Amino acid sequence: MGSAFGVISEETPAYEVLQRFENYEIRRYEPRVAVQVAMNHANDSTAFKTLAGYIGVMSSPRNERSEAIAMTAPVVSSTSSSSLIGMKPSTGVADAASSSAAPRTTQNKQQQSTLSEKKVDVGPQDDQHLMQFVLPKIYDMTNHPPPKPTPTWSSPNLSTAIVERPERTFAVHTFSGRWTSFEEQKRELLRWLKEEKEDDSGNMLKIKVKQPLHFEVYRYNPPWTLPMFRTNEVAIEVELT
């Protein structure tokens, strides 16, 4: 019931707030590991089912250890030409595509609801649509690597991989309503970033948008969350100078 009113109970990535402004804040995100789907054409349903299958939301887990993995929030989405530059696939993790079966448990159905999109770096291909789930913080590529995806079926337009998300600094704008307004929200955030601003001590602060432009869209809620209670975010990678 709480999810309909925007309650977020899933684990979310850790970050430090460096500066707060009226319309956005500057966050430094810790490194994390994620599972990603890359597609030549936008298809939220296919990507969702593939990632959900990997963690075991809509089927038995489609990974090499048949390991059920908890859902996190938000789901991250973008296109490779605009925002995934710098994300690197983990060494030795093979690409795979996974399909989904019928839902298994009530918990899985609840986890399924919070899935949306995520992203990952898949190489130099431009304009690939990317969806990524950031995996729980218990996973890292050194001490506790996540299981590899199981190649249950293949498609020339779809690839799945485990990737490492490095430490990064983002300007993040939070908004409610439908996430599909993200292009408008991104333009507003870019405009705000061009304005002069002061830090907490009154010193002039320069925030530089990293080039090439890297932006991400974060969706925290299931589809049935009432629009006015939804938490959506646009994030643009920046440097503080």
Q: Which two tokens stand for residue 32?
A: 């994390």
The conformational region for residue 106 under phi > 0 = left, psi -120 to 50 = alpha, else beta, is alpha
**Final residue before a domain boundary, out of 165, 191, 215:** 165
When divided into structural domains, the chain yields a total of 2
pLDDT in tens, 94-117: 333 333 333 334 444 444 444 433
- Judge if 191 and 87 occupy the same domain: no
- pTM of the complete model beyond 0.95: no
Mean pLDDT of the chain: 80
- Judge if 38 and 62 occupy the same domain: yes
- Judge if 105 and 161 occupy the same domain: yes
Closest by CA to 160, choosing from 75, 98, 79, is 98
| Model confidence at 150: pLDDT above 60 | yes
pLDDT in tens, 169-206: 999 999 999 878 889 999 999 999 998 787 767 777 88
Sequence-distant (6+) residues with CB within 8 A of 230 are 6, 176, 177, 178, 179, 219, 220, 221
- Judge if 136 and 211 occupy the same domain: no
- Judge if 98 and 141 occupy the same domain: yes
**Final residue before a domain boundary, out of 135, 165, 195:** 165
- Judge if 187 and 131 occupy the same domain: no
- Judge if 41 and 151 occupy the same domain: yes
- Judge if 55 and 155 occupy the same domain: yes
Parallel, antiparallel, or unpaired for β 197-198 and 204-205? antiparallel
50 lies in which domain range?
Answer: 32-165
Taking residue 28's Cβ as centre, other Cβ atoms within 10 Å add up to 14
